[in-house]
Structure 1
Amino acid sequence: MTYLFRRFAFLALGLSLALPLAACGRQGADESPPLEGAAIGGPFTLVDKHGKTVTWDSFKGRWRIVYFGYTFCPDACPLDVQAMMRGFALFEKSHAAQAAKVQPIFISIDPERDTPEVVGEWTGAFGPRLLGLTGTPAQVKQAAAAFATPYSKGPETAGGYLMDHGRFAFLMDPDGKPIAILATDKGPDAVAADLAKWVK
């Protein structure tokens, strides 16, 4: 088991233990973020659809939603990102000022096929606010490691290959600290509620 997958396993275990406890604890405005203090997020250098260099520090002072996936994904990524961006649109409709401070980000874990142009075209289908990023294999590996997101390339088939990867939409605060994992599995309304709860 690699370091990255060990780290992911510990993260998953920690979340499974912490979330039920949080549900039984205090609620309200003073509730602590579920991912407070977690070792998630960190420096990376990638490129956008224009080939322009983008770093983690490029987003200083802004809330960020970060999702790792790939454009050739047949099901999980489109469903997750659709829920994420539809939820963001609902949040934007009711909380325009807060939404203006949020940058949704999609980072490809398949740099072999996901060129800047391909990523830009794919993310554009989910709305103009979603920023697509990719990079060299080394750059992508660094970014995924910073977010404790495992990924691996599947076997080659007649139809190409698939990528295994973690399916988390991380909400990060303006200082780049982890706040919560958005409930993309529960649909747009749940994502919008999460954003309304934490983004101030």
Structure 2
Amino acid sequence: MTRLYAILAAVVVAALVGGAWFATRGGGAGDDFAQCRASQIAGGSDTIGGPFELLNAKGETVTEKDVITKPSLVYFGYTFCPDVCPLDVARNAEAIDLLDERGQDVTPVFISIDPDRDTPEVVGDFAANLHERMIGLTGSHEQVKAASRAYKTYYKKQDGDEDYYLVDHSTFSYLVLPEQGFVEFFRRDETPEQIADKVGCFLENL
């Protein structure tokens, strides 16, 4: 009996360890990207992302179907941001270049959460200066708020001079695929190499 209990205990431990690994990978039955996921999404990845309507650098109204035509790395920020946004967006651009070297085509997308100052022209110049393929988007307050809500981002304008205020905001970058929608997010402490490796895993399993 002692040996039987030992065997049963070993089976239980193995099951628990396997279950813990499975949970941390974020996988599930029928998930083609289970081996690529490194984060858990409360409620599932389907709760993030979705339709949006914004303005591109030419002032044209575009939707997610016009913008997310290729795998895309999406970031919400603002062009007057003094430190965080330039660093994060430059990091994303570097990850895009690393993926280019590996033959993997990903589009960087920048969505402004400061529509009062970030006109289509301003956003377009900001995006073009950081990467030749980066798409810059802005919109009305209602359009920007709707896009932010879809991606569960946070932003709040601080009090101050009407021309030189700051905007508090979340700093996640989102991997969005044309057919699948949102599949993963990246924190700002991740390096270009780490992001490129993780994005590459998703692309290899499309």
- How does the TM-score come out when normalised to structure 2? 0.77
Distance 1:19 1:92, change over 3 A: farther
Matched residues in 2 for 1:180 and 1:37: separation? 8
Alignment match, 1:71: 79
Contact 1:60–1:176 at 8 Å: present in 2 too? Answer: no
**TM-fit CA distance, 1:21:** 4.7
Q: Aligned Cα RMSD in Å? A: 2.8
Matched residues in 1 for 2:159 and 2:89: separation? 25
The 3-state SS of whatever aligns with 1:185 is coil
**TM-fit CA distance, 1:158:** 8.7
Matched, 1:47 2:55: yes
Alignment match, 1:199: 203
Matched residues in 1 for 2:81 and 2:119: separation? 15
Contact 2:96–2:107 at 8 Å: present in 1 too? Answer: no
Residue identity matched to 2:76:
F
Gaps of 5+ in 2: 1-19, 28-32
Residue identity matched to 2:60:
K
Matched, 1:180 2:184: yes
Residue identity matched to 1:141:
K
Alignment match, 2:140: 136
**TM-fit CA distance, 1:37:** 3.1
Alignment match, 2:159: 155
The 5 A counterparts of 1:8-157 are: 21-22=23-24, 30-31=34-35, 33=37, 34=39, 35=41, 37-59=45-67, 61-95=69-103, 98-99=104-105, 102-157=106-161
Distance 1:92 1:155, change over 3 A: same
The 3-state SS of whatever aligns with 2:184 is strand
Contact 1:48–1:120 at 8 Å: present in 2 too? Answer: yes
Matched residues in 1 for 2:157 and 2:93: separation? 26
Report the identity percentage.
39
Matched residues in 1 for 2:22 and 2:188: separation? 18
Gaps of 5+ in 1: 1-17
Distance 1:184 1:199, change over 3 A: farther
Matched residues in 2 for 1:24 and 1:58: separation? 29
Segment of structure 1 superposing worse, 176-185 or 163-172: 176-185
Matched residues in 2 for 1:61 and 1:122: separation? 21
Equivalent residues, number:
178
Matched residues in 1 for 2:188 and 2:162: separation? 31
Contact 1:87–1:192 at 8 Å: present in 2 too? Answer: yes
